Amino acid sequence: MLPGEEDCDRRGDEDCDGVGCSDVLWARTFGTGPFQWPTSIAISPKGDRIAMAGLYRGEINFGPDATTALPENTSGAAFLAVFDGDGDHVYSRGIPLEGDGSAAVAMDAEGNVLFATKYAGTVNLGGDDLPVSGSSDMLVVKLDKNGGHVWSKQFGGPEGQTTPTDITVTPEGDPVLVGIFTSAVTFGGLTFETAETSDLDSFLVRLSGEDGGHIYSVQIGDHTSDTPGAQWAKGVAVDAMGRAVAAAPAVSGRRVR
């Protein structure tokens, strides 16, 4: 983690203004298995919580002893790991995957964690059991700063897959996500469908930070097109008014609805 405290006797502190420069405060390494891949990181406004999301195979432990080890998974899993401002483990979670995966994390103004990942099987992070309805679905969960369950939601259709690629949070605390899907998916509004079952279209969805309910959702792609192809949303951001901007490569003739 950067920066460290300034020292006016060192070359790195050019103005002695009390603002940290580039010294390392702490660093951590994790994982003894064949694969560990961080994909997203977020920090609370106060700097007292740092959340990291990613993928792993085999074993991984973000905590101080064997009791904090995540379940061993040889076929792949997603992880969420949260640390305090000194880099010490607060809590971590492991989510089973099937095939390629993706995981993303953001934090709201209160230090609550909003985490999204593709998953397989049945997951329970403190609320209800959430079984997948297709080959793999999307999990969105809100946890408080100490790992307590606030709400969790499953999204996906009976066929195909639903995968998040990025997540951010509005000033009001609502999570906004982008990702990809095949076949069909609904987030509580319209049902989105791809032109062909194997196509990839993208989505943008805003959920309520209070309970995960649907606020709005948008399909990036055209379910009526005669030239099917892939739209893969990569990133999302929101401004001070909560308006969302998404970016996705697109095949000619695609539309947003």
What is the per-residue pLDDT for 231?
Answer: 75
CA 19 from chain centre, in angstroms, equals 31
Q: Does residue 14 surpass a pLDDT of 70?
A: no
Rounded CA separation 26/195 (Å) = 49
Residue 84 burial (CB count, 10 A): 14
What local confidence, expressed as pLDDT, does residue 199 receive? 79
Which residues pair with residue 37 across a beta bridge?
55
What pLDDT does residue 54 have?
A: 96
**Position with higher pLDDT, 44 vs 250:** 44
Q: What is the residue whose two structure tokens read 């002893």?
A: 65
| Range of lowest pLDDT (83-87, 156-160, 170-174) | 156-160
Whole-number percent of the chain with pLDDT over 70: 83
Range with the poorest average pLDDT among 102-106, 158-162, 253-257: 253-257
pLDDT of 66 higher than 50: yes
Q: What does DSSP say about strands 103-107 and 89-96: parallel, antiparallel, or unpaired?
A: unpaired
Strand residues in 108-225 grouped as ranges (E): 113-119, 122-123, 130-131, 137-143, 149-155, 162-169, 175-181, 184-186, 191-193, 201-207, 214-220
pLDDT, position 74: 85
pLDDT at residue 248 in the model: 79
